[in-house]
Structure 1
Amino acid sequence: MAREMCKMTAGLTGLVLVLAGCAGGGDGASAEGGPRAGGTLRIVGSSDVGHLDPASVASVGAYGLVRTFARTLFGTLASNDFQETLPVRPDVAVRIPTRENGDVSRNRRIYTVRLREGVQWNTNPPRPVTAHDFVRGFKRLCNPASPSVGKGYFISTLEGMDEFCEGFGSVDGKDAQAMAAYQRDNEISGLRAKDDRTLVFRLKQPASDFLHLLTLPYTAAAPQEYDRYVPDSAEFRQNTISNGPYQISEYEPGMSYVLTHNPAWQQKSDPLRERHVEKIQITLGQDAPETVQQQIEQGAADLAWDQPVPTSAIPRLRNDSRFAIRETPSSTPYLVFNTLSPNNGGALGKREVRQALQYAVDRSALIKIVGGPSVAQPLHTVIPPGNSGYAPANHYPTPGESGDPAKCRELLGRAGHTGLTLKFPYRTNSVHKLIAQSIAENFGNCGVKTELRADSGGSFYAGTISTPANARAGEWDIAAPGWTPDWFGNNGRAIIQPLFDGRGYGQNSTNFGGYNNPEVNALIDAALTAPEPSHAAGYWQQADQKIMQDAAIIPLLNRSHTIFHSSRVHGAKFLPTTAGYDYTRLWLR
């Protein structure tokens, strides 16, 4: 997930990977000169995105795809130097608002954002992107058909967002006209289009990370044509409109995408993207990472869509300039408990049971599965190193990171819940099956049975663990999603709030297990209203400690991303928030 990022804390410097031979990736223009136009970029992978509508995208793959056709006010620049990916930069906005240039009020609660000229929709004829399109985009975050995973960021920050979303919830989510009418007839009091080229935001209280929120893909402008469709419906997915360098020309759900040039896009109006390849072909349905890797090495494909380099290939690729290990300080994967499950007499709703299961997992085995210590380190906190609020801690230590099944059994016995059987859906791409099997074996060693069920990437998030009805019905008990922060640096809320704020639990929520602790919710509020990022970090750290005491999840790995491209790919620049190279910067030999 995106979710799957922000400015950087000092703690990140210790994370920089020093791995001989792994700094490749086709950084620059080669001896042949500068970037060349033309050719088809061929991307091969496993599963379709769970959501294609920019308002509800929720995975790193979707973030990378949406970047090609849906632009936000601000963004980040792809780079193979992690530090260069951190600053917030203008996208559709002309400049960064500051108190010095008059675009941020003295009390830091009012932001004025001015739009640049030349950004156009690929309509016939092309039409300028306006401030009203951004207002529409924000209103769509709360639609009842496919609400945004990020709406909580703005409910807690933007004046009137809570009231607007609450009212939207009573509208029929199957009626596109009714939703469009609600958006047309109701306003978010903290957001207005002053004119076609000026937006004014009014915050509940100062938020030091507000501009980072405006880089998130679900804050993209939305054209008026989107009001015709139920958000993220099959019909919507066949009618996306672009203001970026590419447009989706063909889409076969679960099978393929074809992206071609958006004729209305102009390089001079886009400071973050470029456009070199003529066409981008994404072919889905290939679950075996070994097969994908083979195709790339043999020149039949150029990039993997949703899978890192297979573990077995890493040793022989260490000195290959096409291979790289890129920093993505993240919790990938982690094990989440469905605290709402009625199975086993509601056992997973009890803290003592979840605490006992913490001792089951052999992290050393998981590290081997994903490629060894150069790729991943054991993780014991909610917040990974290099993110705001991180502090080393291990509430449930085991010898050699290999688990302690005897202690797990003992604590389950004390809790009165031996003989558990847990439903365990797992993703089918990459090494997720191996990870699930390893965890299932660990649980078996402490007397807990698991029922493993293959669940394709497209349905794993959107259809299974993000659906509250499934959680309450006990359709699953444990799952192993991943979480890449939406931004890095001053980003405590990019981890704690979306994953553990119980007040925002609902359809498409990324608080997958329905965890809800008023003490944690209060710490979230304290962090969000803290006057300085350093103060906020202290509250995020306290929230982390409380969540781990409650054993809401089992952190597993802080994992970097292994990536490989074909010999003909040049200009490969990495975007940590998408766990991939920026498609718009690539060119082909």
Structure 2
Amino acid sequence: MSDARLVFERNPVWRQETDPIRRQAWDRAEVVVGSAEPEVISGHLAAGSADLPWGVLLPQEGVPIGGSETGYALDPYLAFNVIGPRADEVLGRRQIRRALAGAIDREGVAELAARVDPGWTAHPAWSIVPTGNDGHHVRERPPVAAPGESGRTLAEAGWTGEHKLIAVCPAVPPYPEITRSCAQDLARIGVSVVVTELPLDEYRELLDDPARAREGAWDLACTSWSPSWCHDNARVFLQPLFQSSDWRGTANCGQYGTPRVDGLINDALNTVDPRESAARWGALEQEPIEDCAIVLLLFRSPKGASRRSSRLRDAIALPASGHAVDLVNVRPADVEA
């Protein structure tokens, strides 16, 4: 294992009487900095030389995750950059976005993800809000277009074949494999795609900055969105992903936005009655689907709790953090409180 460490120690000003929810069960936590194959990490957990994986999930099929129903994530989807220099003639056109989306074989992407990342359940996505979330609605499943049909749609929308699209993804499985699979599907209809894998920090920095999208640094981004909570949560997906927002760190990395969608979001937010609010969010979801604001690919969720050492208990997953363990709740297995 690496000699580099991040050391977290107790906050000396924390007081139990002012924070009745949490506990200080640990004197310190050490995080090993570096990369390792999942098998290597699992070996350290089994040997007791490590307690938890950090920054990687090692699901154990059949082992309950713990906590409340976690819900599936929209993981991944393809974001379109609709504000780049060529947006007016390429991805800013709905018919072109529809033709690109129709050419991608989501069933094939799901099979690929299952092979590359077998610890996760993967289903083709036909809606924005995934299954396992209160805001989920079953949507009509569109057919996969034949290459010739998508090619004709592209030509009718003004695609000339002169443009080469830049697709970015994090250099973390299964995202490179999925992005390359989508690029191959698009190549069949005459669309050339260059896939760029980036270290996670560079990838996040790129997508967090609308100015980079405006410059045309990327055209397609393989990314994901996880629910912050799973009850009454259509808003968790629809507002951050589709409301007009041009600030740094926005989830709407491709800068999609229309006055109609913004107005529908505001109407849903201002609705007090829970049933009417849910109905408004459900109706709103169809708008970006019809507009092909993004390419829906997969719903994914871990098949079980991540591996951990036998010295721990209460390692509860946080869906909003990629099912990482909530360190506040983790306890030594031999300590009651």
TM-score interval w.r.t. the shorter chain?
0.7 to 0.9
The answer to whether the aligner puts 1:277 opposite 2:26 as a matched pair is: yes
Q: Which residue of 2 aligns with 1:438?
A: 181
Contact preservation (8 Å) 2:120, 2:300: no
Matching of residues 9-408 of structure 1 within 5 Å: 257-286=6-35, 288-309=37-58, 317-318=60-61, 327-343=70-86, 346-371=89-114, 375-394=121-140, 396-398=142-144, 404-408=146-150
Q: Which residue of 2 aligns with 1:412?
A: 154
* Large movers: runs of 4+ above 4 Å: 287-291, 321-326
- Residues 468 and 506, structure 1, Cα contact 8 Å, conserved in 2: yes
**Gap change, CA 1:559 and 1:432, over 3 Å in 2:** same
Change (3 A) 1:348 1:295: farther
Distance in 1, matches of 2:242 and 2:19, equals 36
Shift of 1:527: 0.3
1:303 deviates by: 2.2
| Stretches of structure 2 lacking an aligned partner (at least 5 in a row) | none
1:327 to 1:392, Cα distance in 2 relative to 1, 3 A: same
Query: What amino acid is the match of 1:542?
Result: A
> Which of the residues 478, 483, 486 maps onto 2:228?
486
Flag the structure with more relative contact order, 1 or 2, with Cα contacts below 8 A and sequence separation at least 6: 2
Percent identity, aligned pairs only, is 29
Structure (1 or 2) with the larger CA radius of gyration: 1
Deviation at 1:478, TM superposition (A): 0.5
Task: Look up the equivalent residue of 1:580 and give its one-letter code.
Answer: A
How many Å separate the matches in 1 of 2:280 and 2:267? 7
- Which of residues 251, 265, 269 in structure 2 aligns to 1:510? 251
Match of 1:583 in 2: 327
User: 2:247 is matched by which residue type in structure 1?
Assistant: G
Distance, in Å, in 1 between the alignment partners of 2:232 and 2:54 is: 29
Confirm or deny: 8 A CA contact 1:323 1:564 kept in the other structure.
no
Paired positions, count: 324
- When structure 1 is superposed on structure 2, of 271-280 and 332-341 the one drifting more is 271-280
Residue 331 of structure 1 aligns to a residue whose secondary structure is strand
Aligned residue in 2 for 1:520 = 261
Matches within 5 A, 1:442-481: 442-461=185-204, 463-481=205-223
Task: Output one character per residue of 1:415-461: Cα deviation in whole Å (capped at 9) or x when no partner.
Answer: 12142421111112242222222222222222222111121222212
Query: Hey, what's the Cα distance between the residues in 2 that align with 1:539 and 1:392?
Result: 15
Conserved 8 A contact 1:338-1:478? yes
1:582–1:499 CA distance, 2 compared to 1 (3 A)? same
CA distance in structure 2 between the partners assigned to 1:378 and 1:565 by the alignment = 30
> Which residue is equivalent to 1:529?
270
Aligned mates of 2:39, 2:119 — CA distance in 1: 21
1:152 maps to: none
SS of 1:347's equivalent? coil
Alignment correspondent of 1:69: none
Cα separation, 2, equivalents of 1:517 and 1:357:
21
Question: Residue in 2 aligned with 1:497?
Answer: 239
CA distance in 2, matches of 1:288, 1:410: 44
Tell me the distance in 2 between the aligned counterparts of 1:322 and 1:530. Answer: 36
Q: CA, structure 1 residues 444+265, in 2 after alignment: closer, same or farther (shift >3 Å)? A: same
**Whole-angstrom distance in 1 between the partners of 2:230 and 2:64:** 26
Q: 1:299 to 1:424 in 2, by over 3 A?
A: farther
1:549 paired with 2:298, answer: no
Partner of 2:183, secondary structure, is helix
Question: How far 1:298 moved relative to its partner?
Answer: 4.5
Letter in 2 for 1:423: I
Q: Judging changes above 3 Å, is the alpha-carbon distance between structure 1 residues 363 and 387 closer, same or farther for their aligned structure 2 residues? A: same
Alpha-carbon RMSD across the aligned residues, in angstroms, is 2.9
Matches of 1:542 and 1:505, distance apart in 2: 25
The 1:518–1:288 alpha-carbon spacing in structure 2 relative to 1, beyond 3 Å, is farther
Q: Per-residue deviation at 1:529?
A: 1.2
Q: Contact (CA 8 Å) 1:380, 1:554: kept in 2 or not?
A: no
Q: SS of the residue aligned with 1:275?
A: coil
CA contact (8 A) 1:307 1:429 kept: no
Task: Tell me by how many angstroms 1:257 deviates.
Answer: 2.6
TM (normalized to structure 2)? 0.85
1:204-248: CA deviation from partner (whole Å, max 9, x where unpaired)? xxxxxxxxxxxxxxxxxxxxxxxxxxxxxxxxxxxxxxxxxxxxx
* AA matched with 2:155: G
Q: Distance in 1 between matches of 2:9 and 2:95?
A: 54
Give yes or no for contact 1:288–1:430 (8 Å, CA) kept in 2: no
Q: 1 CA distance for matches of 2:72 and 2:17? A: 33
CA 442–295 in structure 1, closer or farther in 2 if over 3 Å, else same: farther
Q: What stretches of structure 1 of length at least 5 have no aligned partner?
A: 1-41, 45-254
Distance in 2, Cα, partners of 1:300 & 1:334: 37
